[in-house]
Each structure stands twice: as C-alpha cells, then as structure tokens.
Structure 1
Amino acid sequence: MVSFKLSNKTASPSIKLLVDDPIVVNPGEAITLVCVTTGGEPTPTLTWVRSIGNLPEKTVLNGGTLTIPAITSDDAGTYSCIANNNVGNPAKKSTNIIVRDLVVVLLSQRIYSTLDIVPNYSTEWFNQYATSPTEH
C-alpha cells in the first residue's frame, strides 16, 4: 500500500551569518562569508549582494558561501545574504568588510632657534617601492 501526505505548510525564510561584523582584513588576504538557512518552507534560495555596485569579479559563490580571494580596498563595503522562498518577505543579513590601509607617516618636529614661535614640521612618507624616505 502506498500513501501520500499532502501539506500546505509554508514558512517565511530565516537565515544566520556565520561571520563577525565588522570583518577587518589586510590587503591580499582571502575572506569567506558563510550564510545558512535556519528556517523556511519551501527551502529558501540564498544569494549574495553588495550594497554599492556588483560583487567583485573574482568572487567565488558556492551555495551560501561567498569567497573573495586576495581582497583589496576596492572590495571593502557592506555585503548582504538574502534568502527567498516566495513566502512572506525575503530574509536579509549583512556584514561590513573593512580592508586595512597600509600607510605609515612619520612626523618630526625641528626647532631651529629658541626665538622661533611656530616650529617647523617635516613629514616623511614611506612607500613600499621607495628605497629612501622623501621629505615634503
């Protein structure tokens, strides 16, 4: 004997991000964002979006997992996972990615005489490609 059970049960989607907010990374690092469904009937589909513009071209998507290899400052911003199953409103969770900037500025004070009221300042800028500091 074969029996079938029909159900009209539906439920709006719910999701959870398995990442911190914000996420602070160094340039060149790989970053992985993970989004999982925690509810919804039928099972929701997961998509990733970026608040400003498209996802970076180098982005790898695999289900609810988004990976950005060799992140740059251009990749910084707010990323959102959206779950939709056409029941109720889509669920959305977001996280911010902050990419550290590698700038080193040294500021030194030089006083040329005791009569100077306003000291002179010099700024030395170091660049990863420079062999010596440039004074401005």
Structure 2
Amino acid sequence: HGFVSQSCISIFGRHVNVCLIARRSTRFAGTRFLKRGANFQGDVANEVETEQIVSDGQRLCAFTQMRGSIPSHWSQDISKMVPKPQIQVVICDPYAQTPSRHFERLLFHYGSPLIMLNLVKKRERRKHESIISKELEYSIRYLNQ
C-alpha cells in the first residue's frame, strides 16, 4: 500500500522533476483507532515512509521522512462514542525496550543522524495526548543516557 506521484514543474524557468513516494509499513498495520502504539519488536502502528526526490536532469536530491505512532504500548478504548477516546498506557516499559528496538531499526535502515519531531500535543486542558508525549520524552531521555 502506498502512493506515487511524479510531476515536472518550472522553478524560475528551470524544469524540475519532482517525485513523491509514500510507503505504508505492513509490520504493525491496522486501522487508525484499532492499532496504536508499538509491538514488542518495536514496529509502530500506522508507519509511513515518505520520500521526496527532486531532479533537474543533472543533479538529484532525495529527502526521506517517517511518521508513525509513538513507540510505546498504548491504546484507546473506542467502544464508547466520544470524539477523543481516552489514551491508556497498557504496558509499563521502564527500560524503554520497545522504543530502543524501534530506533535501532531506524538507525540500521537509514543511518545517523536521526532527527525526531514530537508532533503530539503537550498543553491540554485535560490530559489526553500529553500522556504519550511524556512516554516518548522519557524513552528518549533514558536511551540517551
């Protein structure tokens, strides 16, 4: 599963080919609310690798980014009809073993450096997404010791 698109565009009179490729992972696949977090091997839910390739015929530039669920054991109860199902950390991982496996796989596949962006809300009236944001921050701090 994925997406591919290629276009030739003009930038300041120069023709440039742009290709966008998105690949969905099959390792821990599932629908949005039914698959959350990560499995014990470090595979995260809803992981997508997006690669942007730009070429002017002489030079080639590629940029790859990954997005996916927070690499922790968490879930949401979707049995209740509410706009934001409560997030629950279902397995405590004090030694960050699951995130460690996830980041090791990324380092093996892409090399160093890895740049992580936490796009999860931190400031909320009621704790919701900040719960898993704290899980991610703890894991990164622990692994960087």
Verify same fold: TM over 0.5.
no
TM-score for the superposition, normalised by structure 2: 0.26
Determine which structure has the larger helix proportion and give its number.
Answer: 2
- State TM-score, norm by structure 1: 0.27
Answer with 1 or 2: which has the greater Rg: 1
